[in-house]
Amino acid sequence: MKASWRTAWQGQDIVVYRDDTEVDRLHAPAIERVLLVHRGSGESAGDLLHAVVETDSDCLLFPADTGFAGRVNFERQAFWAERGCVYWVNENRASLPLKLRRGAGLFGLGAPIFRRVPRADLAAVLARWPVEGPQTWEQRKWRRIERGRPFAPVEETQLRA
């Protein structure tokens, strides 16, 4: 039987459960940066694939089935807006080392499983990711609405040769 993962806020902590057993706990104020990896344009909650959460010493990998990119991110919008630490990156530009990806799909290279790894192990990889932000889900939504309006200002990323 497949393990059931979930995350939940408990006070200022984000708790990770596997089959209703606590497996990890993260003190939210210790979070320095959250990288939300998405497919496509990342405009719907279903586009979120996984999150990489950086603290001063560790990186935590949260696949979509843990609910971090969804539930934890959406429940405390004010917390994330105040922190200004949420960034976005497209899956095509955000590859993780092979040892951190689980076996799924045609070649066995799916999203990562939940784990905590030393930050130094991922620092060079994450430094190459072209991130957008910081912006919360709400800020991202309003930016998308603004871009869709007639005569909206053209952004550098929209220009194509």
**Segment 67-91, tens digit of pLDDT:** 887 777 777 888 988 999 999 999 9
What percent of the chain stands above pLDDT 90? 46
158: confidence class by pLDDT, cuts 50, 70, 90: very low
* pLDDT of 15 strictly over 90: yes
- Provide the pLDDT for residue 108: 47
- What mean pLDDT comes out for the span 17-21? 93
Among 1-15, 46-60, 146-160, the range scoring the smallest mean pLDDT is 146-160
Q: Mean pLDDT score of the chain, rounded to an integer?
A: 83
Q: Rounded CA gap, 144 and 9, in Å?
A: 28
